[in-house]
Amino acid sequence: METTLYSPFVRASNPALARWQSAVMSVVSKRIQSENPDMIPHEVRTLALQDDMIAGTNLHVQRAADKLPSPTHEELEFVSQLHQTGASHPHIHYYASHYFYRQAVLNVVRNNPEQAGFGFTDLGVNDKPSSFPDTDSNIQQWILAGAEWEAYANPYPSPYIDWVNKVPINVDKNTFKKTFSVYTIPDNAKVAILGDFGTGLTDGILMLMSLLINQKPDIIIHLGDIYYAGMNSEVDAYINMFTEAFKRTGKAVPVFSIPGNHEYMSGGEPFFTKVLKMNAANGFPQYAQAASYFCLRNQSGTLQYLAMDTGLNSVDAWVATQLQGAYSPWLWFSEADWCQDKLETFKQSGGKTILLSHHQLYSVSSEINDGKNVVYVGSAPKSNMDYLNGNLFNVFSPYFDQVLAWYWGHEHILAIYRNNELFNANNIPLKKGRLVGNSGYEQWDKDGGYAVKGDRFHYASPIVQVGITPVNWTQWITVPNLPPQKVTRTSEFFNHGWAVLTHQGSNLQASYWSFPVGSPDITTLPPVGNVPPPTSLNFSENL
Amino acid sequence: MNSDYSCYVTIVNNTGQTLILESQNIIHGSYVTPPPKTIPANVTITFQLQGSNYGPVGYGGMGNCKYNFIAGGDKFWYQFAYSCPHLTNDNSASVVVSTPKLPVVAIPDPIPTGGHPVRIQFTLADVTQYVPQAQLVDENEITQPQYS
């Protein structure tokens, strides 16, 4: 049996498994921190990526996502033999992850029988390998992870802030709607856009420092995703990435965030109680975020950044199988109304809008609406819907003539799509759809990247691609009839990056920058003077 | 624990007309908040059809209702159906109108076949431009004899 190689970065679309990753990361981080008390949390998290428990959990989660069968008795015996040698090995931890996750699920189901009907249906528990004594220190770590997961098992209730519920008594609802979560920014504000940034890893801080030092943005907008499940410790790590970069560069700027799907895998409470308070805590009380959606409007009223919360209806944190596969998330009714109000206001004034969301309006490679997972209500055209989010299209397409560009994340690359995309014979074309999802999540080049699966939507020609960075990391290999070995291997990851929107005279110019991936190779931060500049300018354009 | 197998149906009445409840049917479940008998113009309403019971043999909410208005002597209607079944069946929602001149936008559209409860909003567009104005505003005159 040979170890299947997976990236050290595996994400789960299943909320229960994502929370399991969070639980294991928490246990591993605490152990590493206790062994290295001088490390900052980000260095600990980065080092943890190479821990055998994390590697084993990644194998477990990836195999579950790939719907591979549960471990067989034969495999368990192999693990027992490995374990009896006293070695730590990802396969031991894979089976331990599998076993203790299921034990934790069973414990929850025993205490909450209702959950048996909510997706926890595959509960056949394999025998524990005979050589897994509970006194083993490794196994004790897994027991701790199981206990931590059980504490997470009932996610927080949705803390989503609906503007309708915030209307003060004696204030007209429509008047309130016009100003709720709307902020004024300077006419020439330079805005940086990040996507899928919330890893909490060291190279993310390094990238932020480079952005702050070299490009001096006035405002940063994050398009969402705090891994693995937006739990308290993970949200703390996300906020501290900015705090650490601000401290080290001596430059702090307002940060606006919308949630992705991962924040809601915990139910979302930490995002709402902590992330929304970032700006006030960093000395920008005028930019204290009121909701998970916002509008940044320039002083002249000619340009607005309109950011929406697509995460809310993308994940059902209660259900282990979430929304049964590919499904296009939708905006909460009142939020769709709030967004359209902002667009109607600008329609009358002639202002232009930049749309911002975590989820994509469309994709060339990621199936958004697997037909068997959705039911169409109205008479929207069914063709091409597998790769188009019809819910978002319905809300925003009437306003595409006043939209300069729509930026989204969710997929972990930079993509410049073909301009003036038409979705059907009658709609107004979208001038520019842009994917900036490569700011933090480490995307292994073996995991797809720029592959095209659908034939409806297209990259711009010539295609703009970010480069790759070779990263060294240690991993186990298992070859039949040979003892397991730990080796250093080099893997290639797509570079990180961001977009910057700058005013050049009367033009709004967008530039797209790359920065080398460092995790899990770089675990310590260099002095400020040694922070590298962006590796390259990938693309620039006038919006 | 989210064990709500309900349908929450919101209707945004932007038609400019008062809608009258013509019929309603429950296939499974019962109304916590029933569809109102009328929906005045420019009013938004929400009703909840809850599943009959929970657990492995329960049924989620499933039903339909029909609203109409009269203009120019003609009856225009919208028929809404909604379903949040338990276990094996899929969620669903639909709207059928008496004429294509009654635009309706649903959010979400499409809806996921899985996940509970079902929440759906139907926004009924202004129909003023589609229905003869004279007939709308002077309906009584039309029914009276005209002499020249």
What proportion of chain A, given as a percentage, has pLDDT over 70? 86
Sorting pLDDT into bands at 50, 70 and 90, what band is A25?
Answer: very high
Which residue among B55, B109, B112 sits closest to A373, beta carbon to beta carbon? B112
Q: Mark out chain B residues that contact chain A at CB-CB < 8 A.
A: 1-3, 10, 54-56, 87, 90-95, 104-116, 119-121
Sorting pLDDT into bands at 50, 70 and 90, what band is B139?
Answer: very low
Q: Is residue A395 domain-shared with residue A504, that is, in the same domain? A: yes
Q: Is residue A44 domain-shared with residue A92, that is, in the same domain? A: yes
pLDDT given for residue B134 in this prediction: 43
Q: Mark out chain A residues that contact chain B at CB-CB < 8 A.
A: 112, 114-115, 117-118, 154, 313, 316, 318-319, 321-324, 327-328, 330-331, 333, 336, 369, 372-378, 380, 385, 390-391, 394-395
Instruction: Give A179-214 pLDDT, tens digit per residue.
Output: 999 999 999 999 999 999 999 998 899 999 999 999
Residue in chain A lying closest to B116 (CA): A316
Residue in chain A lying closest to B96 (CA): A378
pTM for this entry: 0.90
Q: Is residue A298 domain-shared with residue A435, that is, in the same domain? A: yes
Other C-beta atoms closer than 10 Å to the C-beta of B143 total 8
Q: Look at A313 and B108 and tell me if their CB atoms are within 8 Å.
A: yes
Determine, yes or no, domain membership for A308.
yes
Sorting pLDDT into bands at 50, 70 and 90, what band is A117?
Answer: very low
Which of B2, B97, B120 is the mutation pick for testing A, counting most A CBs within 10 A? B2
Instruction: Give A291-323 pLDDT, tens digit per residue.
Output: 999 999 999 999 999 999 999 988 876 655 555
Q: Which of A508, A443, A499 is nearest to A469 (CA)?
A: A443
Q: What angle do CA A444, A260, A534 make, to 5 degrees?
A: 50
Instruction: Give A126-148 pLDDT, tens digit per residue.
Output: 556 556 655 667 788 888 999 88
Q: Look at A385 and B110 and tell me if their CB atoms are within 8 Å.
A: yes
Residue in chain A lying closest to B117 (CA): A316
pLDDT given for residue A417 in this prediction: 96
Q: Is residue A123 domain-shared with residue A202, that is, in the same domain? A: no
pLDDT given for residue A122 in this prediction: 46
Sorting pLDDT into bands at 50, 70 and 90, what band is B135?
Answer: very low
Lowest mean pLDDT among A16-25, A93-102, A490-499: A93-102
Higher pLDDT, A377 or A131: A377
pLDDT given for residue A532 in this prediction: 75
Tell me the mean pLDDT in the region A504-532: 83
- B93 min Cα distance to partner chain A (Å): 6
Higher pLDDT, B74 or A522: B74
| Residues facing B92 on adjacent strands | B83
Tell me the mean pLDDT in the region A235-251: 94
Q: What is the CA radius of gyration of chain B?
A: 18
Instruction: Give A223-234 pLDDT, tens digit per residue.
Output: 999 999 999 999
Residue pair A503/A191 in contact by the 8 Å Cβ criterion: no
Tell me the mean pLDDT in the region A335-361: 95
Domain end marker among A100, A133, A152: A152
**Per-residue tokens: A536:** 């390259």
pLDDT given for residue B5 in this prediction: 84
pLDDT given for residue B137 in this prediction: 44
Determine, yes or no, domain membership for A25.
yes
Domain with A229 in it: 181-542
Q: Is residue A190 domain-shared with residue A148, that is, in the same domain? A: no
Determine, yes or no, domain membership for A116.
yes
Q: Look at B90 and A378 and tell me if their CB atoms are within 8 Å.
A: no
| A218: pLDDT strictly greater than 90 | yes
Q: Is residue A114 domain-shared with residue A254, that is, in the same domain? A: no
pLDDT given for residue A124 in this prediction: 47
Q: Which of A154, A59, A51 is nearest to A97 (CA)?
A: A59
Instruction: Give B78-130 pLDDT, tens digit per residue.
Output: 999 999 876 666 788 999 999 888 889 899 988 888 777 899 999 999 988 77
Q: Is residue A124 domain-shared with residue A194, that is, in the same domain? A: no
Q: Which of A48, A203, A242 is nearest to A526 (CA)?
A: A203
pLDDT given for residue A365 in this prediction: 87
| A360: pLDDT strictly greater than 80 | yes
Q: Is residue A515 domain-shared with residue A456, that is, in the same domain? A: yes
Which residue among A114, A331, A373 sits closest to B113, beta carbon to beta carbon? A373
Chain B positions in Cβ-Cβ contact with residue A339 (cut-off 8 Å): none
Q: Which of A6, A114, A15 is nearest to A54 (CA)?
A: A6
Whichever domain contains A244, its CATH number is 3.60.21.10
Orientation of helix A15-35 relative to helix A137-152, angle to 10°? 130
Q: How would CATH label the architecture of B7-142? A: Sandwich (2.60)
Instruction: Give A37-57 pLDDT, tens digit per residue.
Output: 988 888 898 889 888 899 889
Residue pair A314/A266 in contact by the 8 Å Cβ criterion: no
Q: Look at B109 and A318 and tell me if their CB atoms are within 8 Å.
A: no
Q: Look at B55 and A385 and tell me if their CB atoms are within 8 Å.
A: no
Higher pLDDT, B148 or B35: B35
**What CA–CA distance (Å, rounded) separates B135 from B142?**
7
pLDDT given for residue B3 in this prediction: 67
Q: Which of A218, A225, A216 is nearest to A194 (CA)?
A: A225
Instruction: Give A462-506 pLDDT, tens digit per residue.
Output: 999 999 888 887 776 666 666 566 778 788 889 999 999 999 878
- A464 min Cα distance to partner chain B (Å): 32
- A65 min Cα distance to partner chain B (Å): 18
Determine, yes or no, domain membership for A167.
no
Q: What is the mean pLDDT of chain A?
A: 85
Higher pLDDT, A346 or A525: A346
Determine, yes or no, domain membership for A68.
yes
Q: Look at A391 and B3 and tell me if their CB atoms are within 8 Å.
A: no
* Cα four-point dihedral sign A33, A39, A40, A42: negative
Lowest mean pLDDT among A10-24, A88-102, A498-512, B115-129: A88-102
Q: Is residue A211 domain-shared with residue A275, that is, in the same domain? A: yes
- So what's the ipTM on this one? 0.80
pLDDT given for residue A480 in this prediction: 61
**What CA–CA distance (Å, rounded) separates A353 from A388?**
21
Q: Is residue A386 domain-shared with residue A522, that is, in the same domain? A: yes
By CB atoms closer than 10 A (0-12, 13-18, 19+), residue B137 is: exposed
pLDDT given for residue A486 in this prediction: 73
Q: Which region holds residue A44: left if phi is over 0, alpha if psi is between -120 and 50, else beta?
A: alpha
Determine, yes or no, domain membership for A169.
no
Q: Is residue A269 domain-shared with residue A121, that is, in the same domain? A: no
pLDDT given for residue A8 in this prediction: 73
pLDDT given for residue A345 in this prediction: 95
Determine, yes or no, domain membership for A298.
yes
Tell me the mean pLDDT in the region A228-255: 94
Determine, yes or no, domain membership for A162.
no
Chain B positions in Cβ-Cβ contact with residue A330 (cut-off 8 Å): 107-108
Higher pLDDT, B59 or B144: B59
Q: Which helix (H) or strand (E) holds A341?
A: helix A333-349
Lowest mean pLDDT among A47-51, A118-122, B24-28: A118-122
Parallel/antiparallel/unpaired status of strands B7-13 and B30-33: unpaired
pLDDT given for residue A98 in this prediction: 85
Q: Is residue A207 domain-shared with residue A147, that is, in the same domain? A: no
Q: Look at A390 and B109 and tell me if their CB atoms are within 8 Å.
A: yes
Q: What angle do CA A342, A500, A200 make, to 5 degrees?
A: 95
Which residue among B10, B104, B116 sits closest to A333, beta carbon to beta carbon? B10
DSSP symbol at A163: G
Lowest mean pLDDT among A169-178, A302-311, A386-395, A420-429: A420-429
Q: Which helix (H) or strand (E) holds A93?
A: helix A90-111
Our count of domains for chain A comes to: 2
